[in-house]
């Protein structure tokens, strides 16, 4: 059996079913991300794991023990929220020490453990500060330290980076992942940000409307979406009807077809499918063109090598489709 095994978990609020028959697992030391659009039930699922929200039925088994009957404080779970939820009237070290004090850990052990964990999150120079004297990223590192200091058997992270700016987010992503690996922690991370999920996770559980759509590693999720929702949510797939796909490839398809923008190549007019550039937008290292070919509009991503290589709107071009990367989706 896996380190964490969630089986047939159900949750409703009154007549509204939030999720039903959720099954997933995590191995020891695995970083699993629950990814999905706003309202799909991922935070509620995380809160159910933590015991902050009750479940209607189902099992949550950690190391062979069903924790559903246990109150939150007996589950051995650490949790970090989007809002840092630090005690404003306590210093950084007092915030971190709080959980250990509740466990009546002797003072010398307590100081050593608080010092160790503050060092781990690179916040030991700020031990005597109060939360209002810290940046958002620093607050979140303290919140992380506070959840790690009790040595939880499972770490839950509910969109911990979403209130932070892009640069700090990237730095904290790496820091969380480093610490999680170093401590061999089993972690469940919630996000609606596909880039965050793809860069951080060992495995991604993609959710929609209270159901698990796909459960796979990042590469599989990105290259082999199981259905149109997965293709629409991950990457920036072009979703074509069978007729549109036929018009472009000459191949008969039974259902919709997904093509990734980076698997289409732009070449000269007399090479491949004749097409026209409608517009373009700069995404930084990539230029995304909207092109029209046989009456079908597509996004095409090209590496932004130089200004000279940019294609002007209205240019006539040729398109090459990498047929191997086309996916039929339900």
Ligand X SMILES: Nc1ncnc2c1ncn2[C@@H]1O[C@H](COP(=O)(O)OP(=O)(O)OP(=O)(O)O)[C@@H](O)[C@H]1O
Which residues lie near ligand X (CB under 6 A)?
Answer: 13, 18, 36, 38-44, 192
- Please, which residues have CB within 8 angstroms of residue 203's CB and are 6 or more apart in sequence? 26, 30, 31, 32, 33, 215, 216, 217
Shortest distance (Å) from residue 66 CB to ligand X: 22
Nearer to ligand X, 13 or 87 (CB): 13
Smallest gap, in angstroms, from Cβ of residue 35 to ligand X? 10
Residue with Cβ nearer ligand X (15 or 314): 15
User: Could you tell me the smallest distance in angstroms from the CB atom of residue 145 to ligand X?
Assistant: 24
Taking CB atoms, the residue at the shortest distance from ligand X is 43
3-class state of residue 257 by DSSP: strand
Task: Quote the longest CA-to-CA distance of the chain.
Answer: 78
**Is residue 256 within 8 Å of 271, Cβ to Cβ?**
no
- For residues 43 and 194, which CB has a smaller minimum distance to ligand X in the complex? 43
Smallest CA-to-CA distance from 2 within 62, 67, 77, 69 is with 62
How far apart are alpha carbons 68 and 72 in whole angstroms?
A: 9
CB 238 within 8 A of CB 259: yes
As to burial, measured by CB atoms within 10 angstroms (0-12 exposed, 13-18 middle, 19+ buried), residue 107 is exposed
Residue 42 or 113: the one with the smaller Cβ distance to ligand X is 42
- Shortest gap between Cβ of 123 and ligand X (angstroms)? 27
Q: How far is the CB of 80 from ligand X (least distance, A)?
A: 14
Structural tokens at position 144: 């992380």
- For 208, list phi and psi in degrees, rounded to 5: -150, 130
| 41 vs 235, beta carbon nearer ligand X | 41
What is the C-alpha to C-alpha distance for residues 23 and 215, in angstroms, rounded to an integer? Answer: 10
- Give 207 or 273: the residue with its C-beta nearer to ligand X: 207
Cβ-based nearer residue to ligand X, 93 or 159:
159
| Cβ atoms of residues 43 and 19 within 8 Å | no
> Contact, 34 vs 45, CB < 8 A?
yes
Shortest separation between residue 162's beta carbon and ligand X, angstroms: 9
CB of 65 to ligand X, least distance (A): 25
């Amino acid at each position: 059996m896996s380190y964490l095994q969630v089986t047939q978990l159900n949750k409703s609020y009154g007549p509204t079913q939030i999720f039903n028959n959720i099954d997933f697992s995590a191995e020891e030391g695995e970083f699993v991300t629950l990814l999905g659009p706003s309202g799909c039930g991922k935070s509620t699922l995380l809160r159910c794991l933590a015991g902050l929200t009750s479940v209607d039925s189902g099992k949550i088994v950690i190391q062979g023990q069903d924790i559903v009957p246990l109150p939150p404080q007996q589950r051995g779970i650490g949790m970090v929220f989007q809002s840092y939820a630090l005690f404003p009237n306590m210093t950084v070290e007092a915030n971190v020490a709080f959980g250990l004090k509740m466990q009546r850990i002797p003072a010398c052990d307590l100081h050593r453990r608080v010092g160790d964990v503050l060092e781990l999150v690179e916040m030991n120079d700020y031990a005597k500060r109060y939360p209002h004297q810290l940046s958002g990223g620093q607050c979140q590192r303290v919140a992380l330290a506070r959840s790690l200091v009790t040595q939880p058997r499972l770490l839950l992270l509910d969109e911990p980076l979403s209130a932070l700016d892009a640069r700090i987010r990237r730095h904290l992503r790496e820091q969380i992942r480093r610490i999680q690996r170093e401590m061999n922690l089993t972690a469940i991370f919630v996000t609606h940000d596909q880039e965050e999920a793809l860069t951080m996770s060992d495995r991604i559980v993609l959710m929609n409307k209270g159901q698990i759509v796909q459960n796979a590693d990042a590469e599989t999720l990105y290259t082999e979406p199981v259905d149109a929702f997965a293709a629409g949510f991950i990457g920036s797939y072009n979703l074509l009807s069978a007729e549109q796909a036929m018009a472009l490839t000459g191949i008969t398809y039974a259902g919709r077809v997904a093509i990734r923008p980076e698997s289409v190549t732009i070449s000269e007019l007399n090479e491949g499918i004749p097409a026209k550039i409608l517009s373009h937008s700069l995404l930084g290292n990539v230029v995304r063109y909207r092109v029209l070919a046989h009456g079908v509009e597509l996004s095409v991503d090209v590496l932004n090598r130089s200004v000279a290589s940019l294609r002007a709107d209205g240019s006539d071009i040729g398109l090459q489709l990498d047929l191997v990367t086309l996916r039929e989706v339900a």
